Structure 1
Amino acid sequence: MTGGRFPGIAGILFDKDGTLIRYDESWGPVNREAARIASAGDADLEPRLLLAAGMDPVSGQTRADSLLAAGNAAEIALGFAAAGSPIDAAELTVLLDDLFVRAVEYAVPVTDMRVLFRRLKAQGLKIGIASSDNESSIRRTAARFEIDGWVDFVAGYDSGFGTKPEPGMLLGFCESTGLEPRQVAMVGDNAHDLHMGHAAGAGLKVGVLTGTGTRETLAALADICIDDITVLQSLLQG
């Protein structure tokens, strides 16, 4: 059990994109490729799809809590279809999931995750990752950054725990680790991460500013907002 400013926290459930990896650097090119795939060769359609899903095609900025920032492959596919993609949403979901798995190779970590996760585990914390990405992508990310040995639980939108902002992923983490929700810190960069934390009864909701969320969009939902996940060690250290 840890002490620090938030005593009683014994586990951390991390979002992935924008939390463990930097969103713009990692996902900007991937979002553009997703729109290219969905446009089926129509160059004029690509920017319209990006805008509809939440990314400015000129600046590359992605809007907080938009489809691209917070949605899973199935939701993004439906959004692209509604915005004019000629590809069937079910087929497009498969294409996007494949793209998102390949995108792992281009992910830019927020910090040296091996060092951070080793230190968090040394504090006795259970660690999980819950993402709107698919489970294969999450596991490949953990393997690429050599943190899979310190991760006790993984859940993607296709893992059977439901999708954010429903509480299922956090409750699944608790069932897997033997923790109570009040012992868990939910850490994420979007409102749906924090809404999941509220829905599940998480003891601590932490907003991070390395993704698409801002202090303004997260402050009302989070118990605390931090610049990035490197602060967690001192925040929870007894």
Structure 2
Amino acid sequence: MSKAPLPIPIAGILFDKDGTLLDYAKSWVPVNYEVARIASRDDADLGATLLRAGGMDPQTGFVAADSLLAAGNTAEIAQGMVEAGAPWTREALTDALDDLFSRSAAYAVPVTDLSALFATLRTRGYKLGVASSDNEASIRRTAERFGFAECLDYVAGYDSGYGVKPEPGMVHGFCATTGLIPDQVVVVGDNNHDMHMGRNAGAGLTVAVLTGTGSRQSLAAASDHCLADITELLALLDRHPPAARGDDHLTLDGTS
């Protein structure tokens, strides 16, 4: 009588950046107002229209889950703004926003001490990467600023040649770089583009966090676990060994 195969151990963690490593509201709401100012060429009324088109309330700063500003890459945001009336070409606005986003790394607010977290994960033997809809230069500046660049095995932005979320390419690139297979990888993110990327790639686990624009309800269907933030990840890895996807979306306190 044959035995059931043992689960494949988790060996790599691929993080989203904004809303996952960085607090989205503190880091990106001010940047979104600057996006609107640039895209509208200082037309306040048009700027408000562009923010609404991107999924952000111009009065409250609330950003809707999985909206353009929450989950889109720079080129997608630029395209959406142009379609909503921004007086730019898509290409020129993409360049302007990429420059803004790279500079904005200097003002980002981390969710926790990222240097300590990544050092701990590295000590435990995990391969580590960041896959973001931001540009690669911005990711690298963020990693350098918060002291975890040397812990990274892999960095992928929308412009790195691995495709864009929710396509599986960034996960497959991580696997190719580290020698892992998707079953060994945890994808951690704050919106459904991240979760769907993980599922599309066949990742071992998809883990959602609530430091971005998503809610427990909006993230439930595509995530295996939903955490308050990345500080709960170590305990999750300790308490929940690799398992099949779709395990009731448990939080660490056992609630669904």
| TM-score, normalization by structure 1 | 0.96
List per-residue Cα deviations over 1:202-221 (Å, max 9, x = no partner).
Answer: 00000000000110110111
CA deviation map 1:160-205 (0-9, x unaligned): 0000000000000000000010000000000000000000000000
Q: What is the CA–CA distance in structure 2 between the aligned matches of 1:230 and 1:11, rounded to whole Å?
A: 17
Residue 35 of structure 1 is matched in structure 2 by 36
The amino acid across from 1:207 in the alignment is: A
Q: Deviations over 1:24-63 (max 9, x none)?
A: 0000110000010000121210100000001111110111
Q: Which residue of 2 aligns with 1:203?
A: 204
| Aligned counterpart, 2:74 | 73
Secondary structure of the structure 1 residue equivalent to 2:44: coil
The residue identity in structure 2 corresponding to 1:236 is: L
CA contact (8 A) 1:7 1:236 kept: no
Map 1:83-232 → 2, pairs under 5 A: 83-232=84-233
SS at match of 2:226: strand
Task: Tell me the secondary structure at the aligned position of residue 91 of structure 1.
Answer: helix
Q: Distance in 2 between matches of 1:235 and 1:198?
A: 19
Q: CA deviation at 1:7?
A: 6.7
Q: 3-state DSSP class of the match of 1:78?
A: helix
* Higher-Rg member (1/2): 2
The answer to which of 163-172 and 7-16 deviates more is 7-16
Aligned position for 1:63: 64
Structure 2 residue matching 1:31: 3-state secondary structure: helix
SS of 2:85's partner is coil
How many residues matched? Answer: 233
CA distance in 1, matches of 2:45, 2:155: 38
CA displacement, residues 142-167 of structure 1 (integer Å, 9 cap, x when unaligned): 00001001011000000000000000
What is the CA–CA distance in structure 2 between the aligned matches of 1:14 and 1:60, rounded to whole Å? 25
Tell me if 1:8 matches 2:23.
no
RMSD over aligned Cα, in angstroms? 1.0
Structure 1 contact 130–155 (Cα < 8 Å) conserved: yes
- Cα displacement (A) at 1:89: 1.1
Q: Distance in 2 between matches of 1:140 and 1:42?
A: 31
> Which blocks of at least 5 consecutive residues in structure 2 are unaligned?
1-6, 240-256
